[in-house]
Amino acid sequence: MKKNVTLKVNGNAVALNVDARTLLVELLRTHLGLTGTHVGCDTSQCGACTVHVDGRAIKSCSVLAVQMQGSEVITIEGLAAADGTPHPMQKAFMEEHALQCGFCTPGMVMSCIELVKRCPNADNHAIRDQLQGNLCRCTGYQNIVKAVLHGARAMAAADAPQQT
């Protein structure tokens, strides 16, 4: 059975007619060609499919596209500024060498942005605790934690009022 779904993805209005069983991750990757959102486990365990929906990080393999009716979805492709400048967390991941194979990186970055918004002063322990739902098989997490701390400082600086 097909269903209409209308939502906003990375700032663009999207209206599609999809099978009612279509997962959000499938809509993003297959129907919209946004392949930065990865499918790692199909069981909501690894976090590679994490995106922001209405400002909250969710695992897009665990929700149906039709459940997102009217929502605003941001994927890893939608984080950069209009001029291509990476989001401060993306930049922190690059500068702190927080990626190796890169498979987990999009979901990890999306989760880390929400983590910093919820807990701007999180320490190493809190960051590791909060990232339990995102698996990385390459890095050992040390540089990811450093990137979150770096990204948190950069996000705070970007949000701070500018002195004139």
CA angle 153, 158, 161 (to 5 degrees): 115
Share of the chain above pLDDT 90, in %: 80
**CA-CA-CA-CA torsion sign (39, 41, 43, 48):** negative
Closest CA to 122 of 95, 158, 153, 96: 153
CA gap 66, 2 in Å, rounded: 10
How high is the mean pLDDT of the chain?
93
CATH topology of domain 2-78: Ubiquitin-like (UB roll) (3.10.20)
Superfamily, domain 88-159 = [2Fe-2S]-binding domain (1.10.150.120)
Residue 27's pLDDT is 98
Domain boundaries, the chain: 2-78, 88-159
Residue 24 has pLDDT above 80, yes or no: yes
Q: What is the pLDDT of residues 32-79, one digit of tens each?
A: 999 999 998 878 889 999 999 999 999 999 999 999 999 999 999 999
Is the sign of the CA dihedral 11, 6, 32, 89 positive or negative?
Answer: positive
Q: Is the pLDDT of residue 163 over 70?
A: no
Band of residue 102 on the pLDDT scale cut at 50, 70, 90: confident
Q: How does pLDDT run across 80-94, given as a tens digit for each residue?
A: 999 999 999 999 999
**What per-residue confidence (pLDDT) applies to 23?**
97
Q: Same topology for domains 2-78 and 88-159, yes or no?
A: no
Residue 81 structure tokens: 């500024």
